[in-house]
Structure 1
Amino acid sequence: MQDSTTVVSTATNAVQLQPEKQVFSLWEILTSGGIIGNVIMILIFLLGVLALYIFLERYFFLKRAAKETPNFLENIKDFVEEGKIQTAVDYCRTINSPESRMIEKGLARIGRPISDISNAMQNQGQLEVSKFEKNLNILASASGAAPMLGFLGTVIGMIMAFFEISNVTGAVSPKLLASGIYTAMATTAAGLLVGIPAYFFYNFLVTQVDRMVLKIQTHVNEFLDTLNKPL
């Protein structure tokens, strides 16, 4: 009887001595960095929201601007060849697209040297491109700032973790060291999770802007060729 009680007691003590298995919790890791870590996490989160907002706003803006008007340039050519300049100007105003605004500037200067017409259209083109590129610099900054903030949080977290370890007397527990390190590195992971998509968002939008500029320039050149066409 005594041996049985001893075995049960020994087994109970062995179970109690076994370390409790820690369950991985992303939320706990992200919020376990203390005041500084939480502030950096909030900043990274806000950058992520800002980057997503800019991407969606610019994407739908460029999508609307890229919408084609059937036979737009052909109609303009017909109006010019028939001498209906004011009709062509009114037609451009009804379209309200980047190409129509540039061609409207050119139509308003018909009768002047072709260089004046081209310069007026190019100036309007610069305004249109600036509209396309609005807030893209903020998106680019967010793609770079988020990982840098994350790395800053990791460095601060590592400093704090090793400071706590330096105050421990005796042997340092590997668990204490590991928990401090993975908590500190959580900010870097969060920064990369925001920075990488923001980087791809930025390059995607830049590509779309380049395509828009090329398309507009093609239409402008065709319009100028129409004006230079011998009668």
Structure 2
Amino acid sequence: MFLQTAVQPMNPQAQETVFSFWKIMFHGNLFANVVMITVLALGVFALYIFFERLFYINRMLKINDINLMNNIADMLQEGKIQAAVDYCERQNTPEARILEKGITRIGRPISDIVSAMESQGQIEVSKLEKNLNLLASVPSLAPMLGLLGTVIGIIMTFFAMSNAEGSFSPKTLSEGIYTALGQTATGLAVAIPSNFFYNLLLTKIDKFVLKIQHLSTDFLDIINKPA
């Protein structure tokens, strides 16, 4: 008798249901799956831009030739302006290109020198900001697409319920709603990190801008230094 009690099969309905967000994401209809794939593709696209820009900006910020300004100062004090220009061309760094613009305009008014260096600095900053506008669009597009999928999913759920004959199970309503809300959750899950990535890159670019501003100030001090 005890053995018969021990070997009685468990009720399948008593088994615990495991929550799977992946299953929720792709549990909807064709339209919902298309929206979900689009949102996930935006997330992958944002990751690609972030890492590509991050490596490039870090590489530009790590370029710190402490002898660059000293060598240029020595050449300018000796009157070797063309040698200083050639030296900057050989370095081929953002700092060297900015200094080159200033060196080639020595003898002109200070305003012309500052304007030339600022223009070159803006060019260097624009190189760092390449594709950042695309990254900035992801935090706004992803939640909107997720919300669109949610609204359409809820509409289709209530439409199916209104056309159902007889009584319906609450499971049908709850299943349609949590599947639709999964669209919004996915959109937010993509938008929040993308917004963080964008602001992190902007912070690094601001650091570069501050760096070239100090560089321009040091250069002006050199050319205005009394002989």
1:166 to 139, 162, 165: 162
- Residue in 1 that maps onto 2:183: 187
- Residue in 1 that maps onto 2:139: 143
Q: Counterpart of 2:173 in structure 1: which amino acid?
A: L
- Residue in 2 that maps onto 1:41: 36
Number of aligned residue pairs: 221
Q: Counterpart of 2:161 in structure 1: which amino acid?
A: I
Q: Deviations over 1:201-222 (max 9, x none)?
A: 0000000000100111110111
Structure 1 distance, partners of 2:122, 2:154, is 48
**Residue 27 of structure 1: CA displacement?**
2.6
**Residue 25 of structure 1: CA displacement?**
2.6
1:71 to 62, 67, 70: 67
- Residue in 2 that maps onto 1:123: 119
- Mapping of 1:1-231 within 5 angstroms? 15=11, 18=13, 22-67=17-62, 68-231=64-227
Structure 2 distance, partners of 1:124, 1:195, is 34
Asked if 2 retains the 8 angstrom alpha-carbon contact of 1:157 and 1:184, the reply is yes
Name the Cα RMSD after superposition.
2.1
**3-state DSSP of counterpart to 1:71:** helix
TM-score by length of 2: 0.90
TM-score by length of 1: 0.89
Structure 2 distance, partners of 1:81, 1:107, is 12
Structure 2 distance, partners of 1:122, 1:61, is 21
Structure 2 distance, partners of 1:15, 1:70, is 75
Asked if 2 retains the 8 angstrom alpha-carbon contact of 1:89 and 1:108, the reply is yes
Asked if 2 retains the 8 angstrom alpha-carbon contact of 1:150 and 1:191, the reply is yes
Asked if 2 retains the 8 angstrom alpha-carbon contact of 1:105 and 1:120, the reply is yes
**3-state DSSP of counterpart to 2:98:** helix
**3-state DSSP of counterpart to 1:66:** helix
Structure 1 unaligned segments of length 5 or more: list them. 1-7
Structure 2 distance, partners of 1:159, 1:140, is 30
